[in-house]
Amino acid sequence: MTKNRILIVEDEFVTAASLSVVLNDFGFEVVGTADNGEEAIFSAKELYPDLILMDIVLNGEMTGITAASIIKEKYDIPIIFLTGQSDDATVNAALESEPFGYIVKPFEERNLKASIKMALYKHAMDEKLRSSERTNRILLNSVPDPMILLDNKKNIIAVNDPMIHLLDISTENFKEISISEPIFQVKLGISENEIEQFYTNTNPEKMVISHEDRWYELAIHKLTEINNYITLVAIQYHDITDYKHLEKELSERGFGQIEHNMAQFQILNDEIRNPLQIIRLLIDISETEYKQQIDDQITVIDNLVTKLDKGWLKSEKVRTFLFKHYQHGMGINPDMSE
């Protein structure tokens, strides 16, 4: 089993040596010691320990607090302050560097061991969470549409770059914040009631919203466990604004006129065909010598009307095609036969 590696930063030689013995007895590996801030930063980079025990008062001008802040920012190594300083001002200053523990000397060995194990465990869990977030971000970024991932409490746990652009909010401002917050409802163009509905059905759903002069088709994907318990909800925003504009333009410039013409032609169709049928009936019962010629002319007219019928049928097929391929099935979708 690999031992956890610890760096001791302590300006008192005797204390550092004593700590080394104690840590070795605990089963940890002491990879080095340092007595000033600059050396602590260098050792953190070169040795990259699993944890650093840091005194606040060190040799030189740099304090342990300053060194800890730099190490955290550059190398993300967990740090426990082990110091004789316990006044409020020092403690508050130390908290700014976000340590994983703060132990005041003299310390009990049992408490030191527990603090180290807890710090190592918490850092491992934080890294696992960050790794999961990075994985989610990479997966979401494989989709060109804006996407947002929610947990079962409606907290935002991941977004992709297009969604960040849509929200116009930095990632730090929404991590672990509920999408039920009004600011996100405004930014995403969905109501709290609509958000609630995302969690009431285990099947993927779709909805269309209009938001800030844009149209979006929302696809809601849900991950469920036993008993259809929803654990994750992913919302995908597909921009259909261009399609909506096309629909409007075609409706205003083309479809409206086509529908009007179709209605007018249906009337004209009846007005033509009905008299033709009467004429054909009359010549059938008459003995006129022009019967064949009249019947031929009626057939010509009837065929012309039939061709016009097929033309209007094709026009409607064009409309159906446009809606199908540019509106993803929205709008009318008549079942037209060949």
Question: Could you give the percent of the chain with pLDDT greater than 90?
Answer: 30
Question: Can you tell me whether residue 193 is helix, strand or coil?
Answer: helix
Percent of the chain with pLDDT over 70: 70
Tell me what pLDDT residue 259 has: 59
Mean residue pLDDT across the chain: 79
Q: Which of 137, 216, 212, 220 is nearest to 168 (CA)?
A: 212
Average pLDDT value for residue range 25-45: 96
**328 — pLDDT class (breaks 50, 70, 90):** very low
According to the model, what pLDDT value does residue 331 have?
42
Give the pLDDT band (50/70/90) at residue 28: very high
pLDDT score of 79 more than 70: yes
Q: What pLDDT does 323 receive?
A: 55
pLDDT in tens, 163-183: 888 887 766 656 556 777 787
How confident is the model over 253-310, as pLDDT tens digits?
Answer: 655 565 566 566 666 566 666 666 666 666 665 666 667 777 777 787 777 777 766 6
- Judged on CB neighbours under 10 Å (0-12, 13-18, 19+), 174 is buried
Looking at the whole model, is its pTM more than 0.75? Answer: no
Question: Could you tell me how far CA 236 lies from the centroid of its own chain?
Answer: 7
Among 86-95, 124-133, 288-297, 315-324, which is the least confidently predicted range?
Answer: 315-324
Residue 168: both structure tokens together: 């116009």
d(C-alpha 41, C-alpha 64), whole Å: 10
Query: CA-CA distance, 297 to 308, in Å (whole number)?
Result: 17
Strand partners, 97: none
Confidence of residue 33 (pLDDT cuts 50, 70, 90): very high
**Residues 6 or more apart in contact with residue 237 via CB below 8 angstroms:** 145, 146, 147, 162, 163, 166, 188, 216, 217, 218
pLDDT digits (tens, 9 = 90+) for 186-243: 888 888 888 888 887 655 578 888 888 888 988 888 877 656 677 788 888 988 888 7
